[in-house]
Amino acid sequence: MTETFGELDHPARLLMGPGPINVHPRVLRAMSVQLLGQFDPEFTGYMNETMALYRQVFQTANRQTFLVDGTSRAGIEAALVSVLAPGDDVVVVNAGRFGLLLSEIAERCDAKVTLVEAPWGTVVDPQAVEDAVKRVRPRLVACVHGDTSTTMAQPLEAIGAICRRYETLLYVDATATLGGMAVPVDVWGADIVTAGLQKCLGGPSGSAPITLSDRAAEHIFGRRHVERGLAGPGTADGNGRRIGSNYFDLAMIMDYWSDKRLNHHTEAASMLYAARECARVVLEEGLEARFARHAAAGAAVVAGAQALGLEVYGDLAHKMTNVTALVIPTGLDGDRVRARMRTEFEIEIGTAFGPLAGKVWRIGAMGVNARKSAVLTTLAALEAVLRAEGFGFAPGAGVDAAMAAYA
């Protein structure tokens, strides 16, 4: 008997975790547009428009600004594997799960990793970064802007200045912040910055915007090796060691997005449509207005949670605006609370990883969900579940505090 299963028809949940979030309706509509051939002039025009849009989103003049097909981790891996050759030194700024991820990917590139670390819930002192850079003289410094595992945002201007002073490339993972917090690539002096659509940009996971400075692109082009099946008169390889991945070879991907249109892969058309529309939504709202909206939503989450007697995790001076971690009160079953939020209210909030597993909930207010109604609905549901679980406070306290924060 043939089993075809049923048509997809799950409840429309409100996704208020650390990502993914609910996709903006305009982005969903863009994804339904019919495909074009990857060399159709209309399609390559969309590619050029996407590059121009993301230069504005990244606040950069970088010519090499485009998409890597794959989730945000595809952008991270493409950046590191294309820069780091075996034996290269890299300094990794680490204060959470995703700093550790950068170090693991760098190790897989056979690079020599030096960690500069701080406890989870804090950020790394730039002086410690400078001390390591001065001692190691690395090819690359790699760091995370907003680490959703801890909800901390690492200050980056000082680190960018350090990298320029020592002529070191700077890579920044801005997966969780692009489109919700300021990511001023040129002001930071960052050489490579990557992101994903599924958080503040309000799209589906599956496309990774990336921007590269001229000096980063020059270094990567020095490792260019054109596929044998594509090589012809006028194609030239670099002198450096061949990049260790074909799919994530940024030299070849840059050639594909350039006027050469040197074939590398079949572009994920529907994801390009999504990424293009995400950027259009961001820019039509305006960057400063969007950052303010995310900050207001995050402040309301904090105010509401504190009014419920919940402790906000980590150093509040360096907290991300768009994701908040709440310490689970002693005696409460955190997974049971999350399950009741989902089954009784169709709202998803997040759990945590590693040393924070079972110790905090994470609430995200990002993209289309960084709005007053979504924040108040989430706090009201959390309040109801906590009271049902025997956690006492004045009824209505969380929503009232959040409304006051908005006012």
Q: What is the pLDDT of residues 24-46, one digit of tens each?
A: 999 999 999 999 999 999 999 99
Asked if the model's pLDDT at residue 106 lies above 90, the reply is yes
Taking the C-alpha atoms of residue 158 and residue 127, their distance in angstroms, rounded to an integer, is 9
Q: What is the pLDDT of residues 35-88, one digit of tens each?
A: 999 999 999 999 999 999 999 999 999 999 999 999 999 999 999 999 999 999
- What does the radius of gyration of the chain's CA atoms come to, in whole angstroms? 22
Amino acid in the structure at residue 274: A
Q: What is the pLDDT of residues 145-176, one digit of tens each?
A: 999 999 999 999 999 999 999 999 999 999 99
Q: What is the pLDDT of residue 155?
A: 97
Q: What is the separation of C-alpha 59 from the centre of its chain, rounded to a whole number of angstroms?
A: 16
Asked if the model's pLDDT at residue 142 lies above 80, the reply is yes
In the chain, % of residues over pLDDT 70: 100
* DSSP, res 96: S
Percent of the chain that is helix, strand, coil (3-state, to 5): 45, 15, 40
CB 18 within 8 A of CB 148: yes
Asked if the model's pLDDT at residue 5 lies above 80, the reply is yes
Q: What is the pLDDT of residue 229?
A: 84
Asked if the model's pLDDT at residue 197 lies above 90, the reply is yes
Q: What is the pLDDT of residue 94?
A: 98
Asked if the model's pLDDT at residue 277 lies above 90, the reply is yes
Taken in order of first residue, the domains within the chain and their CATH numbers are 25-283 (3.40.640.10), 287-406 (3.90.1150.10)
Residue 195: both structure tokens together: 């992101």
What is the sign, positive or negative, of the torsion defined by CA atoms of 362, 376, 206, 139? negative
First to last CA, the chain: 60
Asked if the model's pLDDT at residue 132 lies above 80, the reply is yes
Q: What is the pLDDT of residue 293?
A: 98
Asked if the model's pLDDT at residue 235 lies above 80, the reply is no
Place of tokens 């981790």: 73
Q: What is the pLDDT of residue 215?
A: 97
Q: What is the pLDDT of residues 221-234, one digit of tens each?
A: 999 998 888 887 77
Asked if the model's pLDDT at residue 258 lies above 90, the reply is yes
Q: What is the pLDDT of residue 236?
A: 80
Contacts of 337-344 with CB under 8 Å at 24 or more apart are 337/361, 337/382, 337/385, 337/386, 337/389, 340/385, 340/388, 340/389, 341/381, 341/382, 341/385, 342/13, 344/381, 344/384, 344/385
Assign 147 to helix, strand or coil: strand
Residue 352: both structure tokens together: 């945590």
Taking the C-alpha atoms of residue 344 and residue 341, their distance in angstroms, rounded to an integer, is 6
Q: What is the pLDDT of residues 314-360, one digit of tens each?
A: 999 999 999 999 999 999 999 999 999 999 999 999 999 999 999 99
- The count of other CB atoms within 10 Å of the CB of residue 268 is 17
Please report which residue ranges of 143-286 form alpha helices under DSSP H.
Answer: 157-165, 185-188, 214-221, 250-257, 269-285
Q: What is the pLDDT of residue 231?
A: 81
282 CB burial (10 A radius; 0-12, 13-18, 19+):
buried
According to DSSP, the β-strands at 89-94 and 14-15 are: unpaired
* DSSP, res 35: P
Q: At a CB cut-off of 8 Å and minimum separation 6, what does 90 contact?
A: 80, 84, 106, 111, 112, 113, 114, 138, 139, 140, 141, 142
Asked if the model's pLDDT at residue 289 lies above 90, the reply is yes
Asked if the model's pLDDT at residue 312 lies above 80, the reply is yes
Within 61-182, strands assigned E span 64-69, 89-94, 112-117, 140-144, 146-147, 152-153, 169-173
Q: What is the pLDDT of residue 72?
A: 98
Taking the C-alpha atoms of residue 118 and residue 208, their distance in angstroms, rounded to an integer, is 27
Assign 210 to helix, strand or coil: strand
* DSSP, res 390: T
